């Protein structure tokens, strides 16, 4: 590499670093949504641990008639979730990967009956917030 190429690469790297720095300052917080609006709060209503057997057996999880959200944590294997009264047959439903925690907004997913199934044995921790 000659001297001009090195200088050109250095200038491009400097400009790219400056651009990334400006972006990191200009980008504000990201609003992810949720049913709790500003100046309101939710409180813990209940937590229940469920065991899902290997082989796709469906577990029905009943819930309260109203909640602000459900927080679901999966164990060693992922799980398919259904947030309505439909019977899960061959479909997996909404897939949540193994060892993850996700918040499901009550205004979007509801708080009624939920069903879960997994191909490999795992556990679910379901927490409801009011």
Q: Where along the chain do its domains lie?
A: 44-129
Q: How confident is the model at residue 63 (pLDDT cuts 50, 70, 90)?
A: low
User: Can you name the residues that pair with 95 across neighbouring β-strands?
Assistant: 80
pLDDT at 5 over 80: yes
The length of the chain in residues reads: 130
Q: What CATH superfamily is the domain 44-129?
A: Clp1, DNA binding domain (2.60.120.1030)
- Report if pTM > 0.75: no
């Amino acid at each position: 590499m000659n001297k001009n190429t090195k200088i050109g690469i250095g200038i491009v790297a400097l400009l790219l670093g400056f651009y990334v720095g400006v972006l990191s300052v200009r980008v504000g917080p990201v609003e992810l949504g949720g049913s709790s609006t500003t100046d309101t709060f939710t409180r813990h209503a209940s937590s229940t641990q469920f065991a899902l057997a290997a082989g796709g057996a469906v577990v029905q999880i009943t819930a309260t008639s109203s909640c602000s959200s459900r927080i679901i944590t999966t164990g060693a294997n992922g799980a398919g979730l259904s947030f309505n009264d439909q019977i899960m047959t061959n479909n997996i439903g909404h897939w949540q990967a193994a060892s993850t925690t996700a918040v499901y907004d009550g205004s979007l997913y509801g708080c009624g009956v939920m069903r879960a199934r997994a191909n490999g044995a795992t556990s679910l921790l379901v927490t409801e917030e009011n």
